Amino acid sequence: MKTNFKPIIFAVILLATVASCKPDKKAELTKLKKQQQELVDKIATLEAELKDSTAKGDIIVVSAEAIALQPFAHAIEVQGALDGEENVKVFPQGSGVITQVLVGVGSKVSKGQVIAKIDDQMMRSSLASTQSQYKLAADMYERQKNLWNQKIGSEVQFLQAKTNKEQLENTLAALKEQLSYLQIKSPINGSVEDLPLKVGMSVGPQAPVATVINFSSIKVVADVAEAYNTSISTGDAVTLWFPDLQKEVQSKISSASKYITPSNRSFKVEVRIPGNEKNLKANMIAVLRITDYKNPKAVVVKINFVQNDAKGSYVYVVATDAKGKNIAQKRYITQGMTYNGMVEVKEGLVAGDQIITAGQMSLTDGVEVKL
């Protein structure tokens, strides 16, 4: 019987290939352990050298500075949007086809100024017809009134003439009001910042046709997390940063809402800024840096002076030993707020302490130092 060895040979080659592609975890682990031991040996060597240098009386040169009480402030940053004090969407009061657009984007408008007109030809025809009828009714009324005053004619004729005149007066007033609805007017003083109107476009009260913004007074509106409700209030200092303009503006919170929005657990704050600031546009992004904590007399150190071990956070300060020598003293601290690269120290340091600012990474507790 003839045996076909080709499938067997192929299977053996495939298994060998897969085995060669599979990562050798044992070899990788051995390599990592070797690297770990090399690091341990290097650390031990450096520590021994440091102890030897200390035992031989070597002095480590460091820099230090005296701690002085200083103001410390913490701020939160939230994103807001720029808006005019009045930002109004303009809705037509009537329906129809646009026949005239009288302003453009950027145009200054006053309250009541006509922005665009809706086709009013049929309304004007009806008004003209009603005016003619009213003129006749008014004339008839005056005639009947004069006759009635002379006791000529019947009272019914006089009352009919009066009623007819008054009905047409009411009709005229209604037509004039409806005619005014076909003029789209600005509800405020400001500038037209959005105007998607074109002649021939059909419009109605259900959709806005323009946006008018009053930029004489500008405000930034932002949502602030509920957690800051007790630390932020009206009058707090705030710095506005406009990333697009690379510009910073100082101001204060003009209002802080007392209402928490249930959907995002936040409350709104508004910051008003002068309207003469240039290049500001509605809906422009602004970053609000709101000061939520102040300490006028705080112990403050740079965050990179602080180190950590199993016991907690510490810094090195310059102290004097029994022989009058300057030594590095490991001082554990309790940290407060951290902001802008600085940390407030609640406990562990006092004004006048000499904190080591350079060379501290190579120090051990009690080693002699030189300033």
pLDDT digits (tens, 9 = 90+) for 144-167: 888 888 888 788 888 898 998 999
Q: 180, 203, 226 — which closes off a domain? A: 203
In this structure, is residue 126 part of a structural domain? yes
In this structure, is residue 307 part of a structural domain? yes
The predicted model gives 105-110 an average pLDDT of: 90
Check pLDDT > 50 for residue 7. no
**pLDDT of amino acid 293:** 87
> What strands, in cross-sheet order, belong to the sheet with 183-185?
183-185, 114-118, 96-101, 202-203
Say yes or no: 82 and 226 in one domain.
yes
In this structure, is residue 224 part of a structural domain? yes
Residue 69, class by beta-carbon neighbours within 10 Å (0-12 exposed, 13-18 middle, 19+ buried)? middle
Check pLDDT > 80 for residue 111. yes
**pLDDT of amino acid 102:** 93
Q: SS3 letters for the chain?
A: CCCCCHHHHHHHHHHHHHHHHCCCHHHHHHHHHHHHHHHHHHHHHHHHHHHHHHHCCCCEECEEEECCCEEEEEEEEEEEEEEEEEEEEECCCCCEEEEEECCCCCCEECCCCEEEEECCHHHHHHHHHHHHHHHHHHHHHHHHHHHHHCCCCCHHHHHHHHHHHHHHHHHHHHHHHHHHHCEEECCCCEEEEECCCCCCCEECCCCCCEEEEEEEEEEEEEEEEHHHCCCCCCCCEEEEEECCCCEEEEEEEEEECCCCECCCCEEEEEEEEECCCCCCCCCCEEEEEEEEEEEEEECEEEHHHCEEECCEEEEEEEEECCCCCEEEEEEECEEEEEECCEEEEEECCCCCCEEEEECHHHCCCCCEEEC
CA-to-CA distance for 317 and 322, rounded, in angstroms?
Answer: 16
**pLDDT of amino acid 205:** 92
CATH number of the domain within which 340 lies: 2.40.420.20
CA-to-CA distance for 49 and 41, rounded, in angstroms?
Answer: 12
Check pLDDT > 80 for residue 85. no
The 10s digit of each residue's pLDDT in 229-275 is 888 889 888 999 999 889 888 889 999 999 999 999 999 999 988 66
**pLDDT of amino acid 202:** 93
Say yes or no: 240 and 323 in one domain.
no
**pLDDT of amino acid 13:** 52
359 close to 67: Cβ distance less than 8 angstroms: no
331 close to 293: Cβ distance less than 8 angstroms: no
Say yes or no: 353 and 272 in one domain.
no
Q: What is the mean pLDDT of the chain?
A: 85
Report how many domains make up the chain: 3
Tokens 């599979």 found at:
22
CA-to-CA distance for 95 and 209, rounded, in angstroms?
Answer: 12
107 close to 206: Cβ distance less than 8 angstroms: no
Say yes or no: 100 and 181 in one domain.
yes
Check pLDDT > 90 for residue 106. no
The predicted model gives 177-191 an average pLDDT of: 91
In this structure, is residue 132 part of a structural domain? yes
Tokens 């100024």 found at:
113
Say yes or no: 115 and 185 in one domain.
yes
Check pLDDT > 60 for residue 56. no
Say yes or no: 241 and 254 in one domain.
yes
The predicted model gives 90-119 an average pLDDT of: 92
> Residue 257, CB half-sphere, CA atoms under 13 Å: how many?
15
Check pLDDT > 70 for residue 51. no
What is the pLDDT confidence band of residue 23, given thresholds at 50, 70 and 90? Answer: low
What is the pLDDT confidence band of residue 118, given thresholds at 50, 70 and 90? Answer: very high
Q: 203, 225, 253 — which closes off a domain? A: 203
**pLDDT of amino acid 69:** 94
Say yes or no: 81 and 226 in one domain.
yes
Written as six digits, the tokens of 99 are 């026949």
CA-to-CA distance for 327 and 299, rounded, in angstroms?
Answer: 22
The 10s digit of each residue's pLDDT in 313-349 is 999 999 988 888 899 999 999 999 999 899 999 999 9
Say yes or no: 288 and 311 in one domain.
no
In this structure, is residue 354 part of a structural domain? yes
Say yes or no: 310 and 233 in one domain.
no
Contacts of 145 (CB under 8 A, 6+ apart): 158, 161, 162
**pLDDT of amino acid 269:** 93
Check pLDDT > 70 for residue 49. no
**56 vs 206, more confident:** 206
Residue 103: domain span:
88-203
What is the pLDDT confidence band of residue 67, given thresholds at 50, 70 and 90? Answer: very high
257 close to 267: Cβ distance less than 8 angstroms: yes
Say yes or no: 174 and 271 in one domain.
no
Say yes or no: 159 and 178 in one domain.
yes
What is the pLDDT confidence band of residue 21, given thresholds at 50, 70 and 90? Answer: very low
Say yes or no: 147 and 252 in one domain.
no
What is the pLDDT confidence band of residue 6, given thresholds at 50, 70 and 90? Answer: very low
CATH number of the domain within which 105 lies: 2.40.50.100
**What does R_g of the chain's alpha carbons equal in angstroms?**
42
**pLDDT of amino acid 351:** 92
87 close to 211: Cβ distance less than 8 angstroms: yes
Check pLDDT > 70 for residue 15. no
In this structure, is residue 10 part of a structural domain? no
Residue 76, class by beta-carbon neighbours within 10 Å (0-12 exposed, 13-18 middle, 19+ buried)? middle
Closest by CA position to 164, among listed 126, 131, 133, 143: 133
pTM for this structure? 0.53
**pLDDT of amino acid 350:** 92
Q: 270, 293, 316 — which closes off a domain? A: 293
In this structure, is residue 4 part of a structural domain? no
**pLDDT of amino acid 14:** 47
**pLDDT of amino acid 262:** 93
CATH number of the domain within which 258 lies: 2.40.30.170
In this structure, is residue 334 part of a structural domain? yes
CA-to-CA distance for 197 and 204, rounded, in angstroms?
Answer: 12
CA-to-CA distance for 218 and 212, rounded, in angstroms?
Answer: 14
